[in-house]
Structure 1
Amino acid sequence: MPLWNIYHPENAYTDADKREIADRIVGFYDGFLPRFYVNVLFQPLPAASFLIGGEPTDDFVRIRVEHIARQIEDPAEQERFMNHVAQRLAPFIGERGLRWEMHIGETPFGLWTISGLKPPRPGTAADLKWRTENRPSPY
């Protein structure tokens, strides 16, 4: 699963913005993962609770992503992914005058379950079943 945590200033995003951002993030993984694998959490923070260099800020977005279902091992692919993310999220961050930072951590596949089930390996019949049904199920 990719788990996206987006820490942002209070009132930076409307509910419609959040839906659009989440849709764009889900789109990064279309064809690779079941849509239900992709989780996006918006975490608004008041300036007094978001400090950079010890100073309160209300113009910074911090994105923390956990890749668990798949890892990006090829450096060229990593660069393409990061550039694609920057381009697709620019209307909600840089183009709004917000500064931002992002990182992706990658968790070993074996240390992950969904609803108590070990997810199927990529490219298997069970993986196709999960993508088609868009939910976890025994296999």
Structure 2
Amino acid sequence: MPLWKVYTPPNAYTSAEREDIAKRITSAYAQIPIPAFYVVVIFREIPENSYFVGGEPHGKFIRFEVDHIARTLPGPILREWWVRTLDKLLAEYLRPRGFDWEFSYDETPFDLWSLQGEIPPPFESIAEKRWVKENKASSYTLDEKIPAGHFVLSPGVHQHE
């Protein structure tokens, strides 16, 4: 699950703008694809005179703090590409309005995460593809943990189609 915490000055964005930002972020992750319900975006308005950058008050600063749990980004090239992609995706809500901003990403262990009491299925597994389609968490079988495109020949034996 990518959990986005967006810290903004008061009234930086309207309700409709916050919704558009959340949809843009979600659409970027949906391209992977991961279930849309994995993506959570929380906006927190920081009271005036409560934001300090370099020890000085800064009323035009936005901080994006992102926890990646569902996926990790392999290697420096893909990491840079992803950071730049999301930066561009949100640029119109930042630069023209005179905001300074900062992104940070943390990658936390996948196996220390659950949704509605379910441990998320592996990437590109049969169960995860179902979760993408249904856009909700649900129980799944051991056989559904195998990658999509494989089928079960007999218990414990799998073959690629």
Q: Is contact 1:9–1:60 with CA below 8 Å preserved after alignment? A: yes
8 A contact 1:6–1:42 mirrored in 2: yes
Structure 1: segments with no counterpart, 5+ residues: none
Query: Given residue 117 of structure 1, which amino acid in structure 2 is its aligned partner?
Result: E
Partner of 2:24: 24
Kindly indicate whether residue 43 of structure 2 is the aligned counterpart of residue 42 of structure 1: yes
Aligned partners of 2:64 and 2:53: how far apart in 1?
A: 14
Do the aligned residues in 2 keep the contact of 1:49 with 1:56 (CA within 8 Å)? yes
Using the size of structure 1 for normalisation, the TM-score is 0.96
Code of the residue aligned with 1:136 in structure 2: it is: A
Matches within 5 A, 1:42-121: 42-121=43-122
Unaligned runs of 5+ in 2: 141-161
Please list the CA deviations of residues 16-70 of structure 1 after superposition, one character each: whole Å capped at 9, or x if unmatched.
1101100110011113210000000000112222222332221000000000000
Taking structure 2 as the reference length, the TM-score comes to 0.83
The CA distance in 2 between the partners of 1:131 and 1:48, in whole Å, is 42
Q: Would you say 1:11 and 2:18 are equivalent positions?
A: no
Comparing both chains, which one has the higher relative contact order based on Cα–Cα distances under 8 Å and sequence gaps of 6 or more? Answer: 1
In structure 2, how many angstroms separate the alpha carbons of the residues matched to 1:36 and 1:84?
21
Cα distance in 2, alignment partners of residues 101 and 121 from structure 1: 31
Give yes or no for the alignment of 1:33 onto 2:34: yes
Give identity over the alignment, percent: 42
Paired amino acid for 1:15: S
Within 2, Cα distance between the matches of 1:55 and 1:83? Answer: 27
Report the counterpart of residue 150 of structure 2 in structure 1. none
Secondary structure of 1:47's aligned partner: coil
In the alignment, residue 7 of structure 2 is paired with which amino acid? Y
**Aligned residues of 1:70 and 1:109 also touching (Cα < 8 A):** yes
Question: In 2, distance between residues paired with 1:95 and 1:72?
Answer: 29
For the pair shown, which has the larger CA radius of gyration, 1 or 2? 2
